[in-house]
Amino acid sequence: MTRHLKVDERAHRDRLEEMVQGVIGEPLDRPEGQLKVSGRAPYAMDDLPEGCCHGVLVRSTIAKGALAGLDIDQVVALPGIRAVVTDKRLTKNPAQGMAGKAPAQGPEDIIYFGQPVALVVADTFEQARHGAQILGRRFEAESDVALNPDDPNAEIETPKKKQSSMGDLDKAIREAHFAIDETYTTPGHASAAMEPHASVASWDGDKLTLHGSYQMLHFNRAELADALNIDEEKVRIVATYVGGGFGSKLGIAPEGVAAAIASKQLGVPVAVAMTRQNVFEMVLRRSETEQHIRLAADEEGRLTGIGHEALVSNVPGEKFSEPVTQATPFLYRGENRVIGHRIARIHRTPAGSVRAPGEAVGLTALEIALDELAVASGLDPVELRLRNIPDKDPSQDIPFSSHTLAEALMTGADRFGWKTREPKPRSMREGEWLIGLGMASAARVNMLIESKARVTLARNGSALVETDMTDIGTGTYAVLTQVAAEMLGLPVSRVQTRLGDTDLPPASGSGGSFGASSNGTAVFLACEEIRRQLCERLECDPDELTLKDGHAVVGNRRIPIDEVMGGKDIVAEGHVEPGDAEDKVRQATYGSYFAEVAVNAVTGESRVRRMLGVFAAGRILNAKTARSQCIGGMTFGIGMALTEELIHDRRDGHIVNRDFAEYHLPVNADVPQIEVVLLEERDPWANPLQAKGIGELGICGAAAAVVNAIYNATGVRIRHLPATLDKVLSGLEDEDQS
């Protein structure tokens, strides 16, 4: 039996609140945790099948042009080499979550440096790598190729659907008591997941099985079928454990397509694993941004106008573009508005979703601009934000489903000791170190994605949850186990969760912070159907049934659940999909950041000394995994603020810092003890769980709190991230001379 729900209205009843098992929200350990820390959890390249060959991708050394030839003979003569696979499907850039919508590039159409053009397959990885390194490649490069957004010959698109305006912003700026008109830039970023991309393909007749590292299997299955031009029903993808994704594994990547093609051609399993350098060069990057922000405020600091116009980049033909202004339309008040979005079509590695696409970079710039407005108006930065929280979504004239920004700001200020802050820069010093405090708001759109899950209540009183949902390190195994345990009144030890296999019911996948709430709702609905069937067996009304500790309680009867089962399993499927609710109310999550930063007055080095994040995301399903997600997001915020920056060679577009030695992620020494506060909230419009996404909320604006603290410490305003010591030191010199 299937229980289906289309979310059109607010939930009029909090069913989880009525359950009594007491596991929802608790900081329970991950069920798979011991497997992971002991090295027994099988990832994509573990447990290779017998007779498996290895493939290494051969890549383009030009940014645009055609492949003129490959010196295949010299490579296939080497020991262990099975084949040099060439196929037009290798150079087709797979879609990001949009099967059938990838640009169909021809076999000789090169559009970025590093694009795969062939695959060398051998008995061992070392043999394949050697063959790929010496394979002669000849290209016909085009001249006058746009490699950088500021190139004069770069085509600039202005999509109509991504432009909007209200009122007269220019007039608001002219008449404003306080105004900000500045440009901010953020560099490109890499997802930098711990597990590099890897796939192992094998065929059984015309049916393909791919063991890979992917986030959204239901969509990935369709994408892979599309890339190979085969029926979707003939594709199975397995990703039981995924070592991080951060957006890089939302769509099928080149190694998955190549492994499948080679395996079919050779008739043996083929494994293709990217090196770290390969991942940087061939997997989607976050676009760099240039953001023009204008703010107009009256004499009391209330916003009368907001302008947020962004320039991003991508290769020609790609549909995705970084949604920089995603939160700006609803976050603050202001009756005069301009939202602008432009796309520079350039020949770099394709751009895609990376760690909270949109708000991660958009709120960073907006919250730095708000700090500048606070300085200009003489208002405390917290008070400025409190004065500008709107009563309803200003851009759509619809109510908020819930709104917790004010509580997050006030709670954070109180917990952090914000009142001790000295507003005047350079007011606090410890020897060579200038000390400053900074803050920023957090916000992230909330989404629900169609999702299905199957739950079996077995005759022995245990339960099994099955869905192709993935766990990319976010805690999916734990959360879905908790939902089922709570609804069915079982100890978590009696609930097993199976994930990551397209043979299971299709789920939302892990991305956009919608996984736990979407797929958790599907599990919830399946459990509701099981409860209904239990009521039929017990001949009671649903409100009369209590399930706890493996027993059914009805009236004065307390019956072991296995006795109620009568020797038969109950199998139910839950199916949820978005409805009209998302159009009736504005759904979002909110939070705040507070940071203390020390800046060395001699070297310009910046150190985050402490950081606090306060977040509200509806019902928290697992306090431990939610807290971990927020810590991770804030850590990424520190990296965005201080160290992370993709650098492209302006001559040919290749990525210069293509590994962890040169792309500087924050490490333990860069990250202080981070405090996370999770606010109590329910959002009846979101879903029956009343839970919302939290995975990406922790990064949205975090970098701004650090950059604003640098200003408070030094008087140096960093508008072009990251705030590396050369920029800070140059600003310190200017401050000293002024």
Residue 296 lies in a domain: no
Report pLDDT for 88. 87
Render pLDDT for 666-676 as a digit per residue (tens, 0 to 9): 999 999 999 99
Tokens of 30: 């991950």
**pLDDT tens column, 642-675:** 999 999 999 999 999 999 999 999 999 999 999 9
Contact (CB, 8 A) for 237 and 225: no
Q: Hey, what are 115's tokens?
A: 């694009």
Residue 435: inside a domain: yes
CB 517 within 8 A of CB 626: no
Residue 695: its pLDDT value, please?
94
Q: Indicate whether 61 belongs to any domain.
A: no
**In a domain? residue 491:** yes
Residues 460 and 558 placed together within one structural domain of the fold: yes
Shared domain check, 646 and 731: yes
Q: Which residue type, as a one-letter code, is found at position 270?
A: V
Per residue, what are the HEC states of 562-624? HHHHCCCCEEEEEEEEECCHHHHCECEEEEEEEEEEEEECCCCCEEEEEEEEEEECECCCEHH
Q: Is the dihedral of CA 475, 481, 484, 488 positive or negative?
A: negative
Q: Which residue from 408, 484, 339, 369 is spatially nearest to 16, judged by alpha carbons?
A: 484
Q: pLDDT (tens digit, 9 = 90+) per residue, 508-546? A: 999 999 999 999 999 999 999 999 999 999 999 999 999
In which element (H, E) is residue 370 found? helix 359-377
- Strands 289-297 and 303-314, sheet pairing: antiparallel
Are 593 and 733 found together in one domain? Answer: yes
So what's the pLDDT on residue 642? 98
Q: How far apart are CA 656 and CA 665, in angstroms?
A: 15
Cα separation of 209 and 239, whole Å?
11
How do residues 63-76 score in pLDDT, each as one tens digit? 999 999 999 999 99
**Pair 408, 489 in one domain:** no
Do residues 44 and 239 lie in contact, with contact meaning Cβ atoms separated by under 8 Å? yes
> Looking at residue 96, what is its pLDDT?
65
Q: Is 696 a residue of the active site?
A: yes
This prediction has a pTM of 0.97
Domain count, the chain: 2
Question: Of the residues 288, 675, 696, 733, which is catalytic?
Answer: 696
Residues 410 and 473 in one domain: no
pLDDT at residue number 91 = 77
What radius of gyration, in Å, describes the C-alpha atoms of the chain?
Answer: 27
How far is it, in rounded angstroms, from Cα 311 to Cα 632? 27
Helices (H), 62-216: 72-76, 125-134, 169-175
pLDDT of residue 105: 45
- Give pLDDT, residue 94: 66
- Which of 546, 578, 610 marks a domain boundary? 578
Q: Are residues 555 and 459 in the same domain?
A: yes
Amino acid at 507: A
Residue 223 lies in a domain: no
Q: What is the CATH number of the domain that holds 597?
A: 3.30.365.10
In the structure, what pLDDT confidence band is assigned to residue 25 with cuts at 50, 70 and 90?
very high
Both 726 and 594 in a single domain?
Answer: yes
For residues 211, 217, 219, 222, the Cα torsion angle rounded to the nearest 10 degrees is: 40
Q: Quick one: pLDDT at residue 737?
A: 73
> How would residue 726 be classed by pLDDT, with cut points 50, 70 and 90?
very high
Specify burial of residue 161 (Cβ count, 10 A radius: 0-12, 13-18, 19+): exposed
Q: Determine, yes or no, domain membership for 488.
A: yes
From 550, 578, 606, give the residue that closes a domain.
578
Q: 304 Cβ partners below 8 Å, 6+ apart? A: 172, 175, 176, 296, 297, 298, 334, 335, 336
Per-residue pLDDT, 692? 98
Neighbours of 541 (CB within 10 A): 9
The verdict on 688 and 724 lying in the same domain is yes
Q: Which of 605, 601, 592, 598 is nearest to 705 (CA)?
A: 592
Residues whose CB is less than 8 angstroms from the CB of residue 738 and which lie 6 or more positions away in sequence, other chains included: none
Asked if residue 176 is part of any domain, the answer here is no
CA–CA separation, 561 and 553 (whole Å): 9
In this prediction, what percent of the chain has a pLDDT beyond 70? 98
In a domain, 729, yes or no: yes
Domain boundary among 512, 546, 578: 578
Let me know whether 467 and 528 are in one domain: yes
- Paired tokens of 150: 């500021």
Does residue 433 sit in the same domain as residue 529?
A: no
Amino acid at 303: L
Looking at the predicted structure, is the pLDDT value of residue 106 above 60? no
- Give the model's confidence band at 9: pLDDT under 50 very low, under 70 low, under 90 confident, else very high: very high
| Mean pLDDT for the chain overall | 96
For the cut 90, the answer to whether the pLDDT of residue 102 exceeds it is no
Contacts of 398 (CB under 8 A, 6+ apart): 392, 583, 584, 585, 586
Separation between Cα atoms, residue 285 and residue 649, nearest integer Å: 15
Q: Do 529 and 644 belong together in one domain?
A: no
In angstroms, the Cα distances linking 203 to 48, 259, 266, 529 are 14, 11, 10, 38
Q: What is the pLDDT of residues 319-374, one digit of tens each?
A: 899 999 999 999 999 999 999 999 999 999 999 999 999 999 999 999 999 999 99
**Domain residue limits at 521:** 2-23+448-578
Q: Are residues 661 and 727 in the same domain?
A: yes
